[in-house]
Structure 1
């Protein structure tokens, strides 16, 4: 993409789903905000959980790869939290279908969300603001800020929803 303005106000908001990055402790406020924006834009909401302990086979050194596909190495331990999260989303949004869907991805959170946004031609990425407190600061120091990585690594608009 060139340096041109991605959103031309004369043409309206770009088509494409709204991608919502959700974590294990997702807030109802974040989910409702993203759903309301997607509905106002007339777009599908894609809720994406990224398991940072998983990884895509393509990210292994070439001499260590056991697969040539983009299929992730399975992390059985992540199935329970991702299913719990899906049930939490369903309690707020109802059953997945025409208005929303749920994806489970693996790897670096920001990279996985960027890849999903590119593959779905998303019009907007939505994430929650980072946590507060010493533990959250240490986590950001070790792993980095997902919202900062999204803002700096890809051209789509990013909405950071504060905690309610």
Structure 2
């Protein structure tokens, strides 16, 4: 994505440096870039952003997920930036919403921790992470770290994929 599509993340107290977002799917009716990147926990209707038409591989991946999709974003953390330890209290399977991470670009200097334990997220893998637990990220490398982040509603298909 070109530079003008990246919007700085909203929760400035949770990071240092440059953490920015491109909305590919967002709350229905959102038109302002800030409202597009906001993952409203009370939203019930979502729509694809026209930018998704420029990303056929992402569209194909999303089509393969047989669970209702909510917000879908690219999230970039530039070199030297950190996401401070925090919790996303409503993001776990038992609460009915899951966040999937697909590393698109990463480097050996990225340190993602979940409950203090390093999680080695590699490019092209898809991960469910229980983000209601404490987590943090530091990009100590010299290239951007970009993840496709997919918020979805938990259903039987997703539970089966997660082995539960």
TM-score, reference length from structure 1: 0.28
Indicate the structure with greater strand content. 2
Indicate the structure with greater helix content. 1
Structure with the bigger RCO (C-alpha within 8 Å, sep 6+) is: 1
Radius of gyration: which is bigger?
1
